[in-house]
Structure 1
Amino acid sequence: MDALREVAFPLILLAFMLVGLLGVILPILPGLVMIWAAALVYGLVMGFEGSGIALFALLTVLMLIGSVVDNVLMGGSARRSGASWVAVGVALLGALVGSLLWPPLGGLLLALIGIFAVEYLRLRDWRKALDSTRGLAVGCGWAVVVRALIALLMIGLWLVWWLAR
């Protein structure tokens, strides 16, 4: 029974974390939250003794940062491309609504449509509106890269926690 608890259980959690990593790359699942939740389950079952508390706290901070980094990167990239704050706000609202109505692609689709529409109405220039839309899309790409790196770091930290037991 100890082998099951010491090896099989963590391997099942690792598999769950790898599915979470896939969810970071393909926006189907809340990947960082899945990785964090698996670490929480590990801590609750195996205990938070030793460095477990500090590592779990670090995992929590990384999950929170990773959960907002996409909004910051997308909005910042759109602003650098000339988008107004109103357009960025509409894009973020569109991302939220689209994610709820048509996951996984609805959020990105409504964000892109929203920023293009607001910028076109504001500037009456479809090329400039398209530049802002492209900026949002570039920010989205960078967000995937950063979130994937955060996910890998989270999994690595959890592996340190598991193997240090």
Structure 2
Amino acid sequence: METLGQDLALVVVVIAFLLGIIGTFMPVVPGTLLVWAGVVFYAWPVDGFETFSPWVFALITLIGLVAGTADLWLPLLGAKTGGANWKALAAGVLGGLLGTFVIPLPIFGTIVGYGAGILLAEYLRLREWRPALRATLGGVVGWGLSAAVELVGAVIMILLFATQV
């Protein structure tokens, strides 16, 4: 029989899951980390791993690590595939941070700043627009793929959680 404490814990977990799903679309919010934290909150202190399998928890943690870091490695991989050098990648990250705070539209400002940083750095390095645009496109596509990987990872984590509760 569920207790009031477990019911309250599930409400907290559901809130963490909802914020996590929303966070997968927001570059500053660690969406998959919020989903994982909700799982940890329920599986360990609330459930004590009595009904929650440690093996499923380990799988959720692995998915969380891969999906949660996708926004770090996929945009960089995309830009690198497009021909960007490490200075352009750094300029893209800096541009993304600036864009997040300068352009008030969520996600849009970050992506515009990231792309502008790569484009500017690659153009200054190569003095040609075409390869600079190719590197920028690769980075922005990588960014979009990272959001998809994070969302899918968060949903899989939630579904695995549901099998245990």
TM-score by length of 2: 0.81
**Corresponding letter in the other structure for 1:45:** V
Residue 128 of structure 1: aligned partner: 131
Shift of 1:7: 4.6
State the SS of the aligned residue for 1:59.
Answer: helix
Does structure 1 retain, via aligned residues, the 8 Å contact 2:71–2:146?
A: yes
User: Which of residues 144, 147, 158 is equivalent to 1:144?
Assistant: 147
Task: Mark the CA change 1:29 to 1:10 in structure 2 (over 3 Å): closer, same or farther.
Answer: same
1:87 pairs with 2:88: yes
Task: Mark the CA change 1:93 to 1:62 in structure 2 (over 3 Å): closer, same or farther.
Answer: farther
Q: Distance in 2 between matches of 1:75 and 1:99?
A: 17
Q: Distance in 2 between matches of 1:33 and 1:84?
A: 29
Shift of 1:143: 0.9
State the SS of the aligned residue for 1:2.
Answer: coil
- Equivalent runs, 1:39-118 vs 2, <5 Å: 39-43=39-43, 44-49=45-50, 51-95=52-96, 97-98=97-98, 101=101, 104-105=106-107, 106-118=109-121
Task: Mark the CA change 1:109 to 1:149 in structure 2 (over 3 Å): closer, same or farther.
Answer: same
1:37 pairs with 2:37: yes
State the SS of the aligned residue for 1:71.
Answer: helix
Does structure 1 retain, via aligned residues, the 8 Å contact 2:123–2:129?
A: yes
Provide, for residues 59-114 of structure 1, a one-character-per-residue CA deviation record: whole Å limited to 9, x for no partner: 2222221222222211111122222232123323444x438746844543332221
Shift of 1:40: 1.2
Q: Distance in 1 between matches of 2:123 and 2:6?
A: 58
Structure 2: give runs of 5+ residues left out of the alignment.
Answer: none
Root mean square deviation of aligned Cα: 2.6
Q: Distance in 1 between matches of 2:94 and 2:70?
A: 16
Does structure 1 retain, via aligned residues, the 8 Å contact 2:6–2:46?
A: no
Structure 1: give runs of 5+ residues left out of the alignment.
Answer: none
Compare the two structures and name the one with the higher helix fraction: 1
State how many pairs are aligned.
161
TM-score by length of 1: 0.81
Shift of 1:56: 2.1
Task: Mark the CA change 1:82 to 1:101 in structure 2 (over 3 Å): closer, same or farther.
Answer: same
